[in-house]
Amino acid sequence: MFMSIINIILFALLFITNTETVTFVLAILSKNGDTHPDKKVKATWGIYMAIVISLLLVTGDLSIILTLAIITLFPLTICGNMVPTFAASTDKPSK
């Protein structure tokens, strides 16, 4: 019983430390390498990670994460495909 409690505490500390480190690195990358990112950026990444972890715990599989990725990336894909079209149309001189 005592070892189970110790294991749970150690696992929680490991999880918290790893999550904080990943949040910090993602905030640095979001701020183009600034080694002192804002707390708002770190909090935003922490919230995103908490949502993903919660969805994984509740559903138990990756299908919800795949659906979420499709829903969030679909508008970006449309915009990304429109950029070359608009760039090509502005290069042609009008008559």
Mean pLDDT by runs of 10 across the 95 residues of the chain is 93 90 91 90 91 81 80 83 79 61
What is the per-residue pLDDT for 87? 78
What is the per-residue pLDDT for 27? 92
The rounded Cα 83 to chain-centroid distance in angstroms is 24
User: Which stretch of DSSP H or E encloses residue 79?
Assistant: helix 63-91
Neighbours of 55 (CB within 10 A): 17
Give the separation between CA 86 and CA 91, rounded to whole angstroms: 9
